[in-house]
Structure 1
Amino acid sequence: MGHGAAQKEDRELKFGLKARSGQTVFVREYEAADYPEVQQIFYEGIMEMIPDTAFRGLRHHPESLLLYTAMTVVCFIITECWWVIGLLPAIVLCLRYFYSRRVVCGYLRQAMSKDMGDIEGFYMNASGSCLWVAVLEGKVVGLVAACGQPVRSVGAVELQRMSVDRRYRKCGVGVLLGRKVLEFAATHGFSSVVLGTTAYMPAAHRLYQRLGFRCVGVTNGYVALGVRQSVLERIFYRVRHHHYVIDLEDRKMTGVLLHEQ
């Protein structure tokens, strides 16, 4: 993307926000007073993963569909009741929702006990890390974090905790937040930015691709580090983890990013 094209896109993004509120969104570093709004947006974003995983994600897992079909056939053979064929799919969906909620809530508790419970210590006072908020009319409408990864990937920074208030989506807020992470990575000498997502919503993947990320791998049946799942959770909660990366050196983005803001 050239400098002129980037400036034009920025103007278009800001115009989209002005059309709704008469104000322009801007991105700044997190402040302690932002904590309640940041926590609310983060909580709502995480909770959206429950129906996304339980229902939308089902069609992405043919192995799960095959298993549920086999369960239905076995139950029919055992009971010889036709109503089982109609009832079991509803039971399966309920179980997928129950276990998706259980796992996601566990992930939320884990996040709150670590970085999202101590934003100042984990992001603002740590070298190679930061958390930003998008502000519109004095209100926080989105957040994103960058976390240096000196052990996992030399010279890489990880984009984390991207979340936008659903009332302000499709206005370019996510793009502005993502660009802030890319700018941070470039100015701090990181060679690449990585991220991982289990989202099934196409809009999330379009956002990362628009920012210039490319998918370098997909882990089917992903389980987060440090998380132990029961047998039932593994049956009724399955996600695909997409790994994205953007190489700042290969794309020669450093000069562009410094002029995009």
Structure 2
Amino acid sequence: MNGAGVPMASYRIRQYQDKDFDAVRTLFARGMLEHSPAGYRHVLRSARVQLQLLVLFVLVRAAGGFWLLGLGAVALALVAIWLLVHSYSTAYVRQALGTDMADVRGTYLRSPHSCFWVAEAGGAVVGMVAVEPPQDPAERAVALELKRLSVSREHRGCGIAAALCAEVLRFARTRGFGAVVLSTSVVQVPAQRLYESQGFRRVGATSPSLLAFLLCFQVFRYRCDLPGPTAAPPR
């Protein structure tokens, strides 16, 4: 598959057009909010959170003298955790929709080192991916960053995500960059497997905020070193 939109099986990859604006924003938002249940399960599997829930149960049970009070307190805590996880996801979506996803063309199609592609099937946008120079000044000289990779639920398992990822790697290689970097969350396990199958390796992990730390939520940093000699990217 190439950026010119050559058909591949039942879909094709092409460069973003203004008519795709609403579709890519909807696809992005739905894809990110799908991770809320996985994020909730991840938090509940944390030994630290389980210990805190146990302590809460014991303290309320001891103070009130009834098992039901302890169970009720734990139930309220579980609801509060879900609301926090969901609010974290929705805040991230709102932030993205108000920044780069508010002006896709202006963000990704006005620089020789940025681009935005969509995967189209049956006349509908079913996948997308973007690339741009990373924020880290040390990486900007040698790498590009893969962003906003998403495929609709109905079209997963067809190789679209791998093809979009490969499109970014080719784009970076033809422009003389030696690597592609990206970030993904601890709960996006299928995405991690995809990236690793494409040659990415994990190079770091951070908690991006205090709330993320409290929720035991991490963002993983991945890097793929591109093979072969590369020329210095043009300035």
TM-score, length basis structure 1: 0.77
Residue number among 54, 66, 85 corresponding to 1:100 in the alignment: 85
Change beyond 3 A, Cα 1:176–1:57 = farther
1:152 to partner: Cα distance: 4.7
Aligned residue in 2 for 1:212? 199
In structure 1, runs of 5+ residues without a counterpart are 1-13, 19-23, 255-261
Aligned residue in 2 for 1:181? 168
Aligned residue in 2 for 1:39? 25
User: Could you report, residue by residue, the CA deviation over 1:58-91 in whole angstroms, capped at 9, with x for unpaired residues?
Assistant: 32x3222222222222222222221234333432
2:115 is equivalent to residue 137 of structure 1: no
After TM superposition, list the pairs within 5 Å mapping 1:38-117 onto structure 2: 38-59=24-45, 61-117=46-102
Moved over 6 A (4+): none
Change beyond 3 A, Cα 1:118–1:89 = same
**Whose helix proportion is higher, 1 or 2?**
1
CA contact (8 A) 2:56 2:70 kept: no
CA contact (8 A) 2:208 2:218 kept: no
Greater length-normalized contact order (CA 8 Å, ≥ 6 residues apart): 1
CA distance in 1 between counterparts of 2:149 and 2:186 reads 12
The alignment yields a C-alpha RMSD, in angstroms, of: 2.1
2:225 is equivalent to residue 247 of structure 1: yes
Identity of aligned residues (%): 32
CA contact (8 A) 1:52 1:199 kept: no
Aligned residue in 1 for 2:156? 169
TM-score, length basis structure 2: 0.85
Give the residue type in structure 1 aligned to 2:173: A
CA distance in 1 between counterparts of 2:43 and 2:179 reads 29
Residue number among 116, 119, 144 corresponding to 1:157 in the alignment: 144
Aligned residue in 1 for 2:233? none
CA distance in 1 between counterparts of 2:21 and 2:38 reads 26
Helix, strand or coil at the partner of 2:137:
coil
CA distance in 2 between counterparts of 1:218 and 1:70 reads 29
